[in-house]
Amino acid sequence: MAQCIVAAEVTGPVLDFHEGLSFRAGADPETGRVIDAHHPQHDTALVDGATDAGLGAEDFACAWVQFYPGPQKVELVAIGSPHALAAECRMLADLIDGRRIAEGTAAIVTFGRGVRDRLTGEGPLARLQASGGQVGANLCWCSLTEPVLPLATCTVMTNSGKHAH
């Protein structure tokens, strides 16, 4: 059975994008609160009114086929950039479930120090590393090079719009 982190529709307060967020201090990925002290919605929780939009694995499979016409070989799976949620790390560890990452494919998960501290005792990070993946706290994809980011990488699969640029 496939697992997905599904999109949501928001019925409560939402972020007003007419007021820009600073690049480094937008919203806390764990709490959903605006952490940009200069934003008019500072300390507002953006996730209180979120509801499940009903998207499932089939929807994501269809989108994958539409948006990924390229080569079959993925050289790097990059999750985070810079902060994967604790729930994403747990889900990845469960999905990998003791298997090894394919030869010739690198996998890197980046997250904040708070997520690292929470997950260290739980085991997902050790399970990701045991699969052949790399994990790292407070890394920014914009500044990564070898040895973290393989130099010969051409095809990247990521959940990050920031890294996809």
Residue after which a domain boundary falls, among 68, 102, 125 = 68
Say which DSSP state 19 is in. S
74 and 64 share a domain? no
75 and 40 share a domain? no
Please check whether residue 33 is in contact with residue 47, taking contact to mean a CB–CB distance below 8 angstroms: no
pLDDT of res. 99 = 92
50 and 107 share a domain? no
Of residues 48 and 9, more confidence is placed in: 48
The domain total for the chain is 2
Domain housing 74: 70-164
CATH of residue 98: 3.30.499.10
32 and 78 share a domain? no
pLDDT of res. 49 = 54
74 and 62 share a domain? no
**Entry pTM:** 0.60
Closest CA to 32 of 4, 13, 19: 13
Rounded average pLDDT over 33-54: 68
79-99: per-residue pLDDT in tens? Answer: 887 678 888 889 889 988 889
CA distance 12 to 147: 43
Of residues 110 and 14, more confidence is placed in: 110
